[in-house]
Chain A
Amino acid sequence: GESVGLHLPTLSVQEGDNSIINCAYSNSASDYFIWYKQESGKGPQFIIDIRSNMDKRQGQRVTVLLNKTVKHLSLQIAATQPGDSAVYFCAENTGKLIFGQGTTLQVKP
């Protein structure tokens, strides 16, 4: 069946360092992925998306990389700030969103 998973439940980084959050998926036909950020007490917030016809997409301080060969995507956050502390979910969009388990990013001052 479909599944989307994250490698690490928790990632702790120093403020100012770069963060890399990983996600693996199982369906080789998967076409469209979205990264969401969920802060405590809030709903998931859209960060960035990528379609399977792309390998890389950049936003403001964030980059998503998609490796279709190994069915892996990653979210890179440059110069991580305290406000980046949250749970990050990758999700496959098949008309329904199939979320991974989430990685909690902790930013140390």
Chain B
Amino acid sequence: DTEVTQTPKHLVMGMTNKKSLKCEQHMGHRAMYWYKQKAKKPPELMFVYSYEKLSINESVPSRFSPECPNSSLLNLHLHALQPEDSALYLCASSQDWANWGLAKNIQYFGAGTRLSVL
């Protein structure tokens, strides 16, 4: 089983709203990731969590706030977004990030949340 589940599948929000994206995996993976994907572009890394601690923040604006409550869950809290933040937000998980060079560290992706900011 290599399933990463993301909810909701679609989200429409106004610029003053607060919303959250959720991601869940039950593969025992200890690394989880958030990516942003614009139309016809490759995914771009936003955040990496390793063993429930934030390891990488790719200079993402503070209106995006990640949270990793436990090893199976990853949230992305959204506040005061801009229309240009409209995109597909993808969650991924892998066995281990800290030892990525040693492990067969394949990232498995969820189907994403399609976000529209009005």
Contact = CB atoms under 8 A, between A and B. Distances in A.
Interface residues of A, number: 21
Contact of A42 (B2, B45, B105, B111): B111
Contacts of A49: 104, 106
Interface size bucket, B side? 20 to 34
Contacts of A94: 100
A93 B43 contact: no
Contacts, number: 50
B107 interface: yes
B108 A46 contact: yes
Interface in B56-97: 56, 90, 92, 97
Interface of A: 31-32, 34, 36, 41-46, 49, 89, 93-97, 99-102
A12 B98 CA distance: 40
Interface centre among B92, B101, B107 (most CB of A within 10 A): B107
